[in-house]
A = this chain, B = another copy of it.
Amino acid sequence: MTTLEDYLEKNADRIDKALHRYFGDVHGDLFRASAHLLLAGGKRLRPAVVILAADAVRKGSSDDLLPAALSLELTHNFTLIHDDIMDGDAARRGVPTVHTVWDEPTAILAGDVLYAKAFEFICFSDAADAAKIRAVKMLARTCTDICDGQSMDMAFEKRDDVTEVEYLEMVSKKTGVLYGASAAIGGILAGASPVQADALYQYGVNSGIAFQIQDDLIDLIASSETSGKDRASDIREGKQTLIAIRAREKGIDLAPYRRQLSGAEIDGLISRLQDAGVIDEVRAVAVERAAVAKQALSVLPDSEEKRLLADIADFFIDRGN
């Protein structure tokens, strides 16, 4: 029985090799800028979900869908390059961001190049034409949603009254739908029925939401070593996370914490939030979303790949604990 850890390691290795094959030896500044972040590593979770979903649908080995798996990674990287410009972030995956190494115009174009390649690569998959058209449509709608999610996220920065419904819509679009599309596109290209494709989409969206909520918890609770970020950066920046929204509902004012915080102050805040039940409630929402994700998989026959998809949902909420 393959453990998820082993599977993801092998998958990342395979995806890295394929990306180096296509993007490792490109000519010219623009194409080097496009490849920069792509070749800086990463867990390659979205490609893993594409392949596992395909294998779970047809119980076979889906090497012929490698281009589609790469397509979802390209889509992810295009959004990261553009997000980094908008958010003014200087580093990601341990390397300087594209607009930092080159400039903003080059970074806009570098993202645009990966965007085009994402659609091109879907078409390179060995699948029925009708399935590829469904996959292209789903990828297009997904990209529109991701833009909408990023737009909502930026708009939230100017507000302190974001509701839980708004937060969940934002997180669903910014993070969830790309996992949804990864699972559904893998399934569709492998011949999934509409019911199976829809279930895989729900699996991915809910897994992605769980992932993001856990990410917010990690930011507050995990050590900087685990999260790779300064602890409580979301609180310091006044981000409207589920933690902030539930705290507000319970009358805990986070505004005084929008400043440099000592470790003791952060520990004190965590205790307050724990005593009020905020931490447990937020964790419960993430656990519930992971449960919905796994439940959605029940339309698929049992298989090692189905189990690994469920393990991914669990991994998303166990990280950093």
A residues touching B (Cβ–Cβ < 8 Å)?
Answer: 28-31, 82, 85-86, 104-106, 108-109, 111-113, 115-117, 119-120, 122-123, 129-130, 132-133, 136-137, 139-141, 143-144, 147-148, 150-151, 154-155
Q: Which residue of B lies closest to A109 (CB)?
A: B147
Inter-chain contact A115/B143, CB cutoff 8 Å: yes
Q: Which residues of B contact A85 (CB under 8 A)?
A: 104-105, 108
**How far is it, in angstroms, between the C-alpha of A117 and the C-alpha of B115 when the chains are bound?**
12
- Candidate in A108, A123, A150, A154 with the most chain B CB atoms within 10 angstroms: A108
Inter-chain contact A30/B113, CB cutoff 8 Å: no
**How far is it, in angstroms, between the C-alpha of A283 and the C-alpha of B145 when the chains are bound?**
46
Q: Which residues of B contact A120 (CB under 8 A)?
A: 136-137, 140-141, 144
Q: Which residue of B lies closest to A108 (CB)?
A: B82
User: How many copies are assembled?
Assistant: 2
- Given A105-B86, A108-B108, answer yes or no on A28-B148 (Cβ-Cβ < 8 Å): yes
Inter-chain contact B129/A117, CB cutoff 8 Å: no
**How far is it, in angstroms, between the C-alpha of A112 and the C-alpha of B109 when the chains are bound?**
11
Inter-chain contact A133/B137, CB cutoff 8 Å: no
Inter-chain contact B147/A119, CB cutoff 8 Å: no
**How far is it, in angstroms, between the C-alpha of A136 and the C-alpha of B119 when the chains are bound?**
7
Not counting A86-B109, A136-B136, a sample of 12 additional A-B residue pairs whose C-beta atoms are within 8 angstroms of each other reads A28-B148, A29-B155, A30-B147, A30-B151, A82-B112, A106-B151, A109-B147, A111-B112, A112-B143, A117-B140, A123-B136, A129-B129
**How far is it, in angstroms, between the C-alpha of A86 and the C-alpha of B143 when the chains are bound?**
22
CB A227 to nearest CB in B, in angstroms, measures 25
Inter-chain contact A133/B123, CB cutoff 8 Å: yes
Which residue in B28, B113, B137, B147 is a CB contact (below 8 Å) of A112?
B147
CB A85 to nearest CB in B, in angstroms, measures 7
Across the A-B interface, give the 5 residue pairs with the lowest CB-CB distance, nearest first.
A120-B140, A129-B129, A116-B143, A86-B105, A30-B151
CB A111 to nearest CB in B, in angstroms, measures 8
Q: Which residues of B contact A137 (CB under 8 A)?
A: 120, 123
Which residue in B28, B106, B112, B140 is a CB contact (below 8 Å) of A119?
B140
**How far is it, in angstroms, between the C-alpha of A137 and the C-alpha of B30 when the chains are bound?**
20
- Given A86-B108, A105-B86, A151-B30, answer yes or no on A117-B133 (Cβ-Cβ < 8 Å): no
CB A155 to nearest CB in B, in angstroms, measures 8
CB A118 to nearest CB in B, in angstroms, measures 8
Q: Which residue of B lies closest to A34 (CB)?
A: B147
- Given A86-B105, A130-B129, A151-B109, answer yes or no on A144-B119 (Cβ-Cβ < 8 Å): no
